Amino acid sequence: MRTRIKICGLRTLEAVQTCVQSGADAVGFVFYAPSPRAVTPLQAKPLALALGPWVTPVALFVNPTVAEVSEVLRAIPNALLQFHGDESPEFCAQFAQPFMKAIRMKEGIDLRLELDRFNQAQGVLVDSWSEHFGGSGHTFDWSLLAEVSGCGVPLILSGGLSDGNVAEAIKQVKPYGVDVSSGVESHRGVKSPEKIVSFCRAVHLADSKTLF
């Protein structure tokens, strides 16, 4: 099985087009105002349309209101929802829309319990722990995921990934997908087309070594 690729925090048409041309499976748009990668529904709509029919737009939220999620869905009705805050399973599921839940990993987190709680999710994104919401740009101890290996729930690995370490991450974790944001940026909040291409190539190469 190949590793799916999600590039998160897109704000420009150039970056979106680079993701599509490089073979990304999903592109994330951040609807969390404090983030340097935040966009409005109005800004995100043409970017999502540029993805074409076979690349999934993902709408990332942190403790949103129902109205905020609904506004984004009016702009991007085919979005996969991604919740990064303290949202309950009931909140995430109420929109009758496919969703993922992010879990910030550290010692003491019962990942099996979280997977059971969010059993209606399309997948669970495991990220590094941070006192603040949003990615930390650092990796975490991937051995924490060993307890749920083969659990049947799609795991998307995030946190500090780059073209330099994603092959090792795939080898160790064997995730359903990988999610990158700061690892493909020239500076905070600004995506580098060259780094996007390099990251996708690294994932494809890692998969080819696994399959053959």
Q: Look up the CATH number of the domain holding residue 32.
A: 3.20.20.70
In the predicted model, what is the mean pLDDT of the chain? 92
Q: Read out DSSP for 69-128?
A: HHHHHHH-TTPEEEE-SS--HHHHHTTSS-EEEEEEE-TT--HHHHHHHTTTSSEEEEEE
Q: What is the pLDDT of residue 135?
A: 59
| pLDDT over threshold 60, residue 9 | yes
- What is the per-residue pLDDT for 147? 76
Q: What is the pTM of this model?
A: 0.93
* Number of folded domains that form the chain: 1
Query: Given a cut of 60, is residue 31 above it in pLDDT?
Result: yes
Could you give phi then psi for residue 183, rounded to 5 degrees? -70, -10
- 89: domain range? 4-211
Distance CA 163, CA 53 (A): 27
* pLDDT for res 107: 74
User: 154 with 176: CB under 8 angstroms?
Assistant: yes
Picking from 46, 9, 52, 42, the residue whose alpha carbon sits closest to that of residue 190 is 9
Residue 101, both tokens: 């839940």
pLDDT at 105: 86
- pLDDT band of residue 11 (cuts 50, 70, 90) is very high
Q: What are 84's two structure tokens?
A: 């990064």
Q: Which residues are catalytic?
A: 8, 127
Tell me what pLDDT residue 149 has: 67
Q: What is the pLDDT of residues 83-138, one digit of tens each?
A: 999 999 999 999 999 999 999 887 778 888 889 999 999 999 999 877 666 656 78
Share of the chain above pLDDT 70, in %: 94
Q: Output the pLDDT for position 131.
A: 64
Q: Quick check: 181 pLDDT over 90? A: yes
